[in-house]
Every structure is written in structure tokens, then in C-alpha cells.
Structure 1
């Protein structure tokens, strides 16, 4: 039985993997540096992810360990159940439905599609805790 040759060589695979990890780390640094909420920049109550167009996880930030790998369920539920039509460049989806995200209402999920020549090639996802979303009790 002949061995099947991989689509990419191991060195290229590692370069791409480290690039994606570096990109999500830069997303994390930007969020922490620009956040007004102490829950974000002191406690790291967030999770950041990059997915391909088929919603396979490519990279995850280190944020709150509870959120590692947790954005997968949220993005799949949101894109499957959401009623927002065809996504276009510049669109961002905000979702905080606990049954779709697997978290409580204050953990909002932002999903941004990434386009190349008008085709979605990936998604970036941010799940972060918002202290007050207008619930019945402040805080």
C-alpha cells in the first residue's frame, strides 16, 4: 500500500499554526489594552478564537481557561439559528442567548466573518463578559 503524501509539508504546517496562534495572541493583547472593563483587563474574562469557513477551530486565546474551545458551540448555534441573511464585509454579529452560547447572558459573543474576494474564508470570535447589559438589577 502506497503512502499518501500530505497536502502540505510539516514545516509549512508549523509556520501556519504558529502564525494563527500569533494572530489570536495579538487579538488578545489588543482587547486587553483597549478594554474599559476591569473584568476584561484584570481578570481576563474573555475567549478569542479563529475558525475556518467550515467552522473548524484554528486558534484559541489563553483568556479565561473556561472559555478555551467554548466558542465553537456558540458560533455554530448562532450561524445555524440566527436570522440575519447573507453576511457581507463589515458585518459583525452580537449574540448573548445562553442556550446558543453555553454561557450566561452577560457573556456576549461577537462574530466577524473574514472575506477574501467576497468569499468568507474564516471567522473571528470574541466572547467577553459585559458587567451590565440592562438586566433588572444594575451590575
Structure 2
């Protein structure tokens, strides 16, 4: 069985490695600003004591104030898991850095989030729609989506 990392300890380790980056530790996840997410993800993979080397799932949820991007991560080496989230408050132009350079498996998952939620992943290697056709208007998993418009 995979053990969930202790989030206050994880926050302390990352804060030590990345001074100046604000990280919040909830009981069940870390919350990081979109601007700092790529740096945090890099450290989550490279710190020998953490080594989150497997992106299990990357998904999104639309709330009235923001779009939340959720990372479910595992360390195969340490048999641990963690959840890291970020919140994109600019719902008209939601964007953040791609993590495909960290976890190759993010390529398809970022395309899915782009296609269904409209989140633009900067520096993605091939960001385009994956389920819907080019020219489809809107993002069907957004709360403001109106069918047929």
C-alpha cells in the first residue's frame, strides 16, 4: 500500500529548497501558485528524499472563482504519494507552465484539460484539441459552457 506523505513535512522540505516560494499545506494536499508550480514539480522529482517520479493523474475542476489543476503524484522509489494543486484565477485566459518536460505522461492529460477546460499550457510540445475538433467553440467542462454556442 502506498503511504501518503506528511504535507507539513513536505512543505517544509520544499520551502527549504525553494526560498521565497509560498506553499500552503492542507491536510490532504499542497497548494502552490501557478507561477511557481513548475519549479515545485521539478523539486518534487529531483529531491532524493521525495522523488515523485510518476504522474498518476493530472486533472482540473472548474469552480466559480478559479480553475483548479490537480496533480496526483507517486514515488515508485519510496512507495509514497502526494496531491499538489494550483488555482488559476484568470478564467478568461487560464494558463500555466507545462510539466511535460518533467513527466512525459502529462502530454495527453494537459491536452485533455486544454480541450475540455480551456487551460493553456505554456511550452507544451503539441497543445491541440484531443477529443473535439479544431474550430469547436467553448470548453464543455466549464461551468459557463452553453451547449451549441
Both proteins in one fold, TM over 0.5: no
Greater gyration radius: 1
| TM-score, structure 2 as length reference | 0.27
Higher relative CO (CA 8 A, sep ≥ 6), structure 1 or 2? Answer: 1
Structure holding more helix per residue: 1
